[in-house]
Structure 1
Amino acid sequence: VLTTSALIDAGKVTPRTRIRVPQNLPVMDRVIHDYFQHDLIKLTLAGVIAKSSNIGTVLAARQFEHAELWSYLDRFGLGHKPNIGMPIATRGLLPPVSSWTDLTQATVAFGQGVSVSALQMISAVNAIANGGEYISPSLVQGRATAGDGSVVGTDVASRSRVISPQAARATAKMMEMVTTEGAGTAPGAGIAGYRVAGKTGTAQQVGSKCTCYDGSLAVSFGGFAPADDPRFTVYVVIQKPKGTASGGGTAGPVFRKILAALLQKYAVPPTNTPPAALPVEW
């Protein structure tokens, strides 16, 4: 979703851009697949997000030069250690653009070629909810002095624009299609009466002993509501789920329960506006 929001901001695509998505996609010496089997399918960019197509994302991202995509992801906070005053915060991994190949861009575009923490990911998704403006994350309301002497908290949080408000709104509408019955992969993350924007995620995990992919997964779901006037951003990660698991089917319902509880607790009313109705196929 970060890649597609960047493409929209750069004026290279719209949610209705048509993409022919083949069964698989050779890139250099590797072959990229989608999580679901299919022949040639015709998806819009909104459909690429709704169906969570790795191949569609890679094809769309080819309109970027390597440095363009890297710059957007850098501004979304990837590769930067959040200043929250705690040593457990990590910078993750966004490979330096000087090392990128076409395969690097392809895997980074759909999220496999980067390493991020939950805090980094929710902060990036929150930038879309916040009209395209990134706000550095805080665990302290107000301000506090950390053990290393740095001042942290919401009073000293920084703000920077990553994408335009128009691009953020367009991305939010595409994310709505993810939770739309019959269109997206996670209708179970939707909340009756509310417009909910979200995105699934599935990541391979690196084992501590082999420092290689060890076969385990982390599944996730992140999003916000109301989609057209966001009040809360929620991100759920389930590490090493047992059995068959997916971002939409496993993390999505947990996301829904947390978000529904927040909307109820803080008496956030539905916006009563028409939901997004973007075409996902053509």
Structure 2
Amino acid sequence: MTNRRRSYLTGPGDSLILPPSSFALNTMYESFVADTGIDPDRLVYDAVIGSPLPVRDYGRGPQGWDPALNPAMFWHPLFWLPDAIAVPLDFHDENGDEQEESLNLWALRVAWEVIWSGMYDAEDGTWADVLSLYGLDVEAADVQARITAWLGGAADPVLDTIDLSAYISENQDSTVLLAVDQAEPFRTASWGVHADELVNGLNHLLRDAATEEEYRWAVGQIAYVAMLALGDAPPLNDGGQPFTAAWGTITEEADDPATPIATIQARAQYLQQSLTSLARVFYPEYQQLMTLLAQEDQVPVRGQLPAPTPTT
């Protein structure tokens, strides 16, 4: 069988780190839940990373996943991450002290490992079909039945052998430390690119809104996505309040038909001003970081995932 690559929620040129589209991130999260059947609380959503990341949990099933998950999605490499990167770990910092890896650091570490190994290829926006590497067609009904049985604890001569450990870094402490160094500049760059996209999107939607309903929807939608993509952005003035509380109020008011349109229009002005302020401060940091990454080959790219010898 030919080893396959699949597009899933991504397209050619889509970066897995610092994705430029806040709207796509929102859609990705909802689609991943709908397509896989996974509980939302088992997904890490981080606006720095261009894909939701499922977290393995052996309390959910013998293989770390709920046996009721959609077996047709088990071609996806994020369900086959090696133990060393499947969950956050304890690591030693530069001083040798043991630290607990946060979910944000873990998400960045996983993203780099997925890129380095070729599990994800930004050039064509595809993911490796892991099952095809082992000679299995996930679209076949009998293979899906095997996956469901295996998720429930049944032995399987092929699924039990899948192991991608050879394709990730042996020293995960070094990858964690890379993520530690990058966490702050990547986070602030993320605020910049998402705020810039959202303020431009808001202006476009408001300009094209032909009815009060369309106007309300535009304001509420942008405020909602802002909470997802920029919820951890700090206030820009000493002693100021985080933007996310105000955006939450705007979302609720926009969804309430009883809220006067004049109030929604006033909220739209605040939303525009807050996003413009964040973009003005942080978008230059995004530009600078993109320039730096383009000029410096800081991280090795290992190429496409080699094909293991299929097991029959």
TM-score by length of 1: 0.28
Between structures 1 and 2, the one with greater strand share: 1
